[in-house]
Structure 1
Amino acid sequence: MRVELTENHRVFSRLGFTIVNTGSHEGYDRPTDFLLRKPISLSADS
């Protein structure tokens, strides 16, 4: 997810995603993207 898309941060956070890492495109000295992860349940009850 792009760092600049702040509204997307709120949406994905409400959906249960968390930031687990940052990255940056070539030529940038600051983070330009986030890696998100969401836990899932593998139970047979779902």
Structure 2
Amino acid sequence: MADIITPNETEAEYMTGIKISNLNDAKDAASILIAKGIKAVL
């Protein structure tokens, strides 16, 4: 697993399984990715 990732909206949705339609969804997706072991999501 990578330490730092910069996923676009589609990639973040694919990696987390959630639909991103606003800033809170994006923050939730970042939290999920961090919980999976990513150190930083930009």
Q: TM-score range by the shorter chain?
A: 0.3 to 0.5
Select the structure that is richer in strand: 1
RCO higher in structure (CA 8 A, sep ≥6): 2
TM-score, length-scaled by structure 2: 0.35
TM-score, length-scaled by structure 1: 0.33
Select the structure that is richer in helix: 2
Largest Rg, 1 or 2: 1
